[in-house]
Amino acid sequence: MRLGGEAIRRAFLDMRSRYGPQSWWPAETRLEVLVGAVLTQGTRWRNVELAISRLRAADVMSLDGLMALPLDCLAELIRPSGYFNVKARRLANLCKFIQQRNGEAGLEALDTPALRRALLSVNGIGPETADDILLYAFERPVFVVDNYTRRLFRRLGWIVGDEPYDDLRGAVELAVGGDTALFNELHALVVFHGKHVCRPNPRCQGCCLASRCPGRGDGRNSLSSGRT
Ligand code: SF4
């Protein structure tokens, strides 16, 4: 791994100046961030928005409201997010966990490593979901690693691409320092860049990172739309 703080910050500034502030996480409450972090697993965000709007319309977007729902009703409400039966069970697990930990305030009282460990103990919460929650619900200075990150960082020559999740997260955090606002925007910008520019078939022409990217032009159809 060759992850330098200066290179990461420069890429961050280049993307921010090209794409503008991303203002994540799009949610009205902290509970919505928690729910959205589960619902977004393996699906597009617009499907999550649909599911969340159905939960709001049913007036169950609260811990009590979600816990009072029979599992099949919860699954039906979140159907647009895909894998709805699995996600309903995961949401139920998460709600029970929050209640057992004395609510959001109880979780807020934990330090970051303890909160990560606690979140990872919930069935259905993996490292990426836990870090989404840590960063966007509890404003902790953690770097979220996803497939967009691995693809971009590999093309930039910073990583091989198959590094263990925590090694990669830890290396970025060490390189950049504990900067919650930067991690918030950086992850959002990496996702935007990965969806629209550094796609499986990258659109290198005009890419704001191209001048320092050894991977530019990989995928010979650099102007093709490719798939996300
Ligand atoms: S130059 Fe191409 S490969 Fe490099 S970051 Fe930009 S789109 Fe990705």
How many whole angstroms from 215 Cα to the centroid of ligand 1?
Answer: 6
Query: Does residue 186 fall inside a structural domain?
Result: yes
Contact 60, 77 (CB under 8 A): yes
Tokens of 48: 């999550």
151 shares a domain with 98: no
The string of pLDDT tens digits covering residues 115-124 is: 999 999 999 9
Q: Is the CB of 210 under 6 A from ligand 1?
A: yes
Per-residue confidence (pLDDT) for residue 188, from 0 to 100: 96
DSSP string, 80-98: GGSSHHHHHHHHHHHHHHH
Q: Is the CB of 198 under 6 A from ligand 1?
A: yes
- Determine the structural domain holding residue 85 and report its residue range: 30-137
Q: Is the CB of 207 under 6 A from ligand 1?
A: yes
128 shares a domain with 40: yes
How many whole angstroms from 214 Cα to the centroid of ligand 1?
Answer: 8
CATH assignment of the domain containing 187: 1.10.1670.10
How many whole angstroms from 212 Cα to the centroid of ligand 1?
Answer: 9
How many whole angstroms from 228 Cα to the centroid of ligand 1?
Answer: 14
Per-residue confidence (pLDDT) for residue 218, from 0 to 100: 56
Per-residue confidence (pLDDT) for residue 225, from 0 to 100: 33
The list of the chain residues with pLDDT below 70 reads 218-228
110 shares a domain with 175: no
Q: What's the domain count of the chain?
A: 2
pTM score, whole prediction: 0.91
Q: Is the CB of 193 under 6 A from ligand 1?
A: no
Per-residue confidence (pLDDT) for residue 223, from 0 to 100: 38
